[in-house]
Amino acid sequence: MNFLNKLIEDTKKGDLDFIWKFNEPDKYTFFAPKDPMNGMNFDLSKELIIIFPNGFGLLCNKDQLNVLKNEIRLAIERAAIKIMNQYVKYFVSDVGNEEDSSIFKDEEIITVEENILDKKIIMEKK
């Protein structure tokens, strides 16, 4: 299954970080408005089928779909952390120096690398 292997690899490399969307437990959608695969989705809680936008279903191996699911979860986390970090940088540049701003004194922003190693998002106050 070259298609599924390519999809897993592209997701793993980070090429699709902002493309995958989490809908509900074990359901993921490929969301790229100008891409022909926009709307492609799969739901591991129902069947082992990737559904393409035209309604075609591709039966897949459960192990491969689980690998894809795990890579998608990491991609979604990487995307969320990138967005949070961009927001904080943008907000800090509007407010002024980070050290002068009291709203950042008790927060720690996590880097993408730390998050991938932990495989979870952690936003804690010290």
99 in any annotated domain: yes
89 in any annotated domain: yes
Q: Are 108 and 124 in contact (CB under 8 A)?
A: yes
126 in any annotated domain: no
Domain coverage including residue 43: 2-118
80 in any annotated domain: yes
86 in any annotated domain: yes
Q: Smallest Cα–Cα separation from 52: which of 36, 33, 34, 72?
A: 36
123 in any annotated domain: no
pLDDT grade for 88, boundaries at 50, 70 and 90? confident
Q: pTM of the prediction? A: 0.69
What residues does 24 pair with on adjacent strands? 27
12 in any annotated domain: yes
pLDDT for position 89: 80
Q: How many domains does the chain have?
A: 1
pLDDT digits (tens, 9 = 90+) for 9-23: 999 999 999 999 998
Q: In which region does residue 82 sit, left (phi positive, over 0), alpha (psi from -120 to 50) or beta (all else)?
A: alpha
3-state DSSP of the chain = CHHHHHHHHHHHHCCCCCCEEEEECCEEEECCCCCCCCCCEEECCCCCEEECCCCCEEECCHHHHHHHHHHHHHHHHHHHHHHHHHHHHHHHHHHCCHHHCHHHCCECCCCHHHHHHHCCCCCCEC
6 in any annotated domain: yes
